[in-house]
Amino acid sequence: MPLDPTPRPQPTSATTAPRTVLTVSGDDRPGVTARLFAALSSAAGPAVEVLDVEQVVVHGHLVLGVVVGAVDDGDRPAVEEAELLARLRTVADEVESAVGVQVEVESASGPDATVAGGRPHHVIVLGRPVPPETVAGAARAIAGIGGNIDAIRRLSDYPVTSFELTVSGAEATALRTALASVATETGADIAVEQVGLARRSKRLIVLDVDSTLVRGEVIDELAARAGRASEVARITAAAMNGELDFAQSLRARVAVLAGLPEEVLDEVREHLVLTPGARTLIRTLQRLGFRCGIVSGGFTQITDPLAESLGLDFAAANTLEVVDGRLTGGLVGEIVDRPGKARALIRFAEQYGIPLDQTVAVGDGANDLDMLNTAGLGIAFNAKPFVREQAHTALNQPYLDAVLQVLGFTRDEVLDAVP
């Protein structure tokens, strides 16, 4: 059958046609939404179309907002706002009587409210607990730079409480700067990510090991067994704060291990303590199809068995030289330093055919910065100030699985991913 070439006018809700918002509130129960839309479709009077809908249930209390506009198809005279409001107040009375909720009817005519600025962003507020002053401070900071909060939802209530605010009209750098002071003042974490498919398209995560995947620094534990703990701890702190070249500091620290028996490596490995939430993070992301691995400035004698025990896809680290069962105080092969970590991330992403903008890196030290900034999303985890200031976002919670909320996963999605 040939197509009919005759053009037909399409019903539209012109900007001059009246519009109305209905706000339903009350105890949530089955059938409220269905009853409202059934009343809208059956009521006598001018035809309407649905322009926007948003619904949220908070602890059993329903708030449902619906924007409707009078249909203007060109064949009927324009509907007056008073006529539309009268019809919808009749609808409101019917719904209130039928399901026992409150329905408010207000004019929504006039130009759409728009907020100037760049693309929308997600602002994730995390804490245990999240005090009211954090939310208030974030809201003030967002408004202060001309942004608008379009929506808020809870992501998790355990192990941290987290909320996601969708913000429009604010530029990313200004938003991060404004919210950083709120985080500092209130002790909560506030992360910023651009809204878009890229956020939920991440497919590979790289974790630093010392003070990220595991508690403490392995080289400090080894140095303690060599009787040089305080000396090495000072060098480690300076390197992680960016005060020393990492490769140079690594060689200096490894040199003090000369003469230690190889068995010491087994002792240290057996006493490793994973950061709380590490297994949950890895297990959840693996179930969601992520490639997961570690890139460490530590040592393969520690990291390779750790990666195997956690079922990770890849690992990269330095290798301690061992001769006749004892550490020589030297290293074998290429040094995995600050640029080396970034190269490892690139190598693993290429190996699995994953674009860099779909990768995530998590670390705490200055030697992680190149890796954090190379990844699509770099997260500074309980990091030194020098690192927090330069990473894409920062987490200061003691739970590594809080990374999941930064990625936009809710607590329910995490539980669904666990077998």
Nearby residues of 236 by Cβ (< 8 Å), 6 or more positions away = 217, 219, 220, 249, 253
H/E stretch holding 327? strand 326-332
What is the Cα Rg of the chain in Å?
28
As given in the structure block, the two tokens for residue 169 are: 């009209």
Question: DSSP labels for 120-184?
Answer: -EEEEEEESS--HHHHHHHHHHHHHTT-EEEEEEEEESSSSEEEEEEEES--HHHHHHHHHHHHH
* Spatial distance between the Cα atoms of 393 and 377, rounded to a whole number of angstroms: 8
Nearby residues of 413 by Cβ (< 8 Å), 6 or more positions away = none
Contact 51, 65 (CB under 8 A): no
Nearby residues of 238 by Cβ (< 8 Å), 6 or more positions away = 244, 249
* Of residues 20, 16, 14, the one with CA closest to residue 90: 20
Active site (annotated) includes residue 210 = yes
Cis omega (within 30 of 0) for bond into 159: yes
Choose, from 210, 337, 364, 368, the residue flagged as catalytic.
Answer: 210
Eight-state DSSP code of residue 79: P
* Spatial distance between the Cα atoms of 350 and 168, rounded to a whole number of angstroms: 34
* Spatial distance between the Cα atoms of 346 and 350, rounded to a whole number of angstroms: 6
* Of residues 272, 269, 284, 127, the one with CA closest to residue 213: 272
* Pairing mode of beta strands 377-381, 393-395: parallel
* Of residues 355, 360, 354, the one with CA closest to residue 373: 360
Choose, from 208, 220, 337, 368, the residue flagged as catalytic.
Answer: 208
Compute the residue count for the chain. 419
Contact 27, 15 (CB under 8 A): no
Hey, which residues are catalytic here? Answer: 208, 210
